[in-house]
Amino acid sequence: MDVLKNKTKKIYKAKVSRVEKISSNSHLIEINLPSAEEIQPGQFISIYCSGLTLRRPFSVYSQNGNTIGIMFKERGLGTKYIKSLKSGDDIDVIGPFGNGFDIKNKKSLLIGAGIGAAPIAFLKSKLDKMKQENLFICGFLNKNEIPNCVNVDKVYTDDGSAGEKGSVLNYLGAVINEYKPEIIYVCGPLIVLRETAKLAEIFDLEIQVAMEKVMACGIGVCRGCVIDIKKDGKIINASVCKDGPVFSGKEVVWQ
């Protein structure tokens, strides 16, 4: 209904412009979204997947004009649906939501692991535009898992099929010693976030982590995606969707 359309904000019947396989197990979907230019690295949008109850949240990988890119791995029914979309299809998107990275004018070490490379790659593009010195390192399972669209400075694979062999975590201390960053930004599996945060504490470095959690509402209402954080000496709940998804690595209570 027209009257409703004029009232709604942050709900978009957007258009898919492209879906492409970018590695052995991940895809890139590009969407024309009216709110694209507002989106900051680390923020997310949420996609309605036909027939499913919960929307699927994705942090944004790229933004050019009205087009945003989302990198995803097919993991279940939601991502299967998104993968099935074709150029020109309608897509129901809400967002952007959450707090993205708080970009600092500091020498930056950017760390991505697996599909967690997506928001970090977006952050890197912003830092590059700002001419802020940065180093982007990324860990993957193997060579075939590396998305063909992501430009990383240093790559690590578990099986050694590309870059250095082993987890990115194994090399982190050495990278910090050599590169001497003033701030770390990281996204990836929980273990990567946790271990990086521990290391940042040892090196007394500022760190921002992009967290992930199953969400229902995406706007801080349902309290489904809360984590423990330390604030003013107390441990309190924070919602990943609204208070995050980016948190200071120092305030997160690591499980």
Partner 1 sequence: MAVMNDILNVNLNGFMLQNPIMTASGTYGYTDEYDDFIDVAELGAIVTKAISLNPRVGNKHTRITETEAGMINSIGLENVGIQKFLQDKVPVLKSKKINYVVNLAGSTIDEYTKLAEICNDNQIKAAELNVSCPNVKSGCLEFGTDENSLYELVSAVRNVYNGFLIVKLTPNVTSIEKLGIAAEKAGANAVSAINTLKGSQIKINCSLGKISKTIITGGYSGMGIKPVAIGAVIRLSKVVNIPVIGIGGIRTLNDVLEFIAAGAEAVQIGTENFTHPDIAQKLVYELAEFITQNGFKNLEELKKELRK
The footprint of partner 1 (CB under 8 A) covers: 1, 3-4, 7-11, 48, 52-55, 94, 214-226, 236-237
Minimum separation from the CB atom of position 234 to partner 1 (A) = 11
With contact defined as beta carbons under 8 Å apart, do 170 and 113 qualify?
A: no
Nearer to partner 1 (CB atom), residue 7 or residue 86: 7
Nearer to partner 1 (CB atom), residue 7 or residue 129: 7
Nearer to partner 1 (CB atom), residue 130 or residue 222: 222
Minimum separation from the CB atom of position 239 to partner 1 (A) = 10
Token pair in block for residue 75: 């993991």
Minimum separation from the CB atom of position 245 to partner 1 (A) = 16
Query: How far does the chain reach from its first CA to its final CA, in angstroms?
Result: 47
Nearer to partner 1 (CB atom), residue 10 or residue 107: 10
Minimum separation from the CB atom of position 189 to partner 1 (A) = 15
CA–CA dist 41, 244 (Å, integer)? 12
Minimum separation from the CB atom of position 180 to partner 1 (A) = 39
Q: Where are the strands (E) in the chain, listed by range?
A: 11-23, 26-32, 44-47, 56-59, 62-64, 67-73, 90-97, 108-113, 134-140, 154-157, 164-165, 183-187, 206-210, 226-231, 234-239, 246-248
Q: Please count the CA atoms within 13 angstroms of the CA of 230 that sit on its side-chain side.
A: 9
Nearer to partner 1 (CB atom), residue 73 or residue 106: 73
